[in-house]
Amino acid sequence: MASHFPLSKATTAELQRLTRALWSWSICTECSSGKPCHTEECPWQRSTILNQFFQFYKEVTATYEADVKPGQQPGLRTHEDLIMIIEELKSNPETTREALLEKLFTSRPARNDQERAINIAVRVMMMVNCSMSRQSSILLEYGNQDVPWRNDVPFSEFITSIFPKTDHPSIDHIKANLKATKLKKRARLSFEPTNDLRNHLRLDRKRAVVEIFHHTAFLKEQLRLTRDQPRSMSIADSIKLGALPRPLALETLATLQTILFPLTDAKSKALLLSLTSTTTQNFDTDVLRYDSSTIRDPLHPEPILYHYFASHLADLYEEQTNPTPRGMEKWFERRSAPRYVMMATITGVFLAIFFSMASLALGGYQAWVGYQQWQHPVQSTGQTRAG
């Protein structure tokens, strides 16, 4: 009988197979057989740096539970099935979701399970949470942040649509003045890791939390693939290499290591180091490592225009400049709202009337007491005895 959790374990051999599918790694014979590596160029030597990504992969695949009826084939039976979907998306990025389903799966009754298999493949390949196009709007309302990939939309077009480009007129000023240390001190914000690239730098004002896409080792693999490629490369061509759009990967890395947590600033680096601790947020430790020549061509500098995360950076800068009131500040702000000002004014008027009437009553009483004393004077004891 087939396991309900067919991908519950991932072996080293399966992880090596994954890196071949994702980034075309050519792993040496020694590493493939589990022996010490003696090949300097073997990419598997970087596998320790990718521990966080591999852990993410294991968690995503281990929680996949086959949702099929007796006699039906699950969308994923082995890790190889998942890798097959990834390779198909790489080789044909113009394919639609519907066409991909028709090509890879022949069992129609288990369509929902097959849809989930595709979602997992996209999540592993692009670090983006996607859903089937029939996802209910109610799920989105209750916090499900998966973005729908519609059946008739090509994969490359889907990736383009979820990372729209925008311009911000003050981006240079924001870059120069925004820092994570300031956000923590002035706005009392905290930082949490996210495995969804779309949520990078997203501010949750209610929880006072900034989400950080921390998988820098994953980003650097994308940048190694595109380092020597034409800068005008299309998104479809990037996907064929197994990479995110290069400007997107560069910008994400720069927002971390140059803007929020500049590695040249001691306080910023100390804060970032604290976030990599397994007892705090368990950020990818590679975020502390600055790479240049392996992911960038020093002879051809690339300007970073901040088209992808400009709006999120602007939100953070606004929060840094005008922090959302919290704690006692929030209590006082609520009570300084116009309705509370009006209530305080009305209360003041009534109190003034009350005290005026009380003062008038007290004055009347004092006058009455004085009159009574005049009408009925009290004789002294000495005068009484003399009489």
Instruction: Provide the residue type at 202 as one letter.
Output: R
Confidence of residue 143 (pLDDT cuts 50, 70, 90): very low
DSSP string, 179-227: -HHHHHHHS--EEEEES-GGGTT-EETTTTEEEEE--HHHHHHHHHHHT
Per domain, the residue ranges of the chain are 12-162, 171-324
Q: Does residue 330 surpass a pLDDT of 80?
A: no
How far apart are alpha carbons 209 and 248 in whole angstroms? 23
pLDDT in the model for residue 139: 43
Q: Does residue 154 surpass a pLDDT of 80?
A: yes
Alpha helices in 201-325 (DSSP H): 216-226, 235-241, 246-254, 266-275, 310-321
Enter the DSSP assignment of 154.
B
How far apart are alpha carbons 274 and 282 in whole angstroms? 9
The mean pLDDT value for 337-357 works out to 73
pTM for the full predicted model: 0.83
pLDDT in the model for residue 351: 80
The 10s digit of each residue's pLDDT in 243-252 is 999 999 999 9
The 10s digit of each residue's pLDDT in 220-237 is 999 999 999 999 999 999
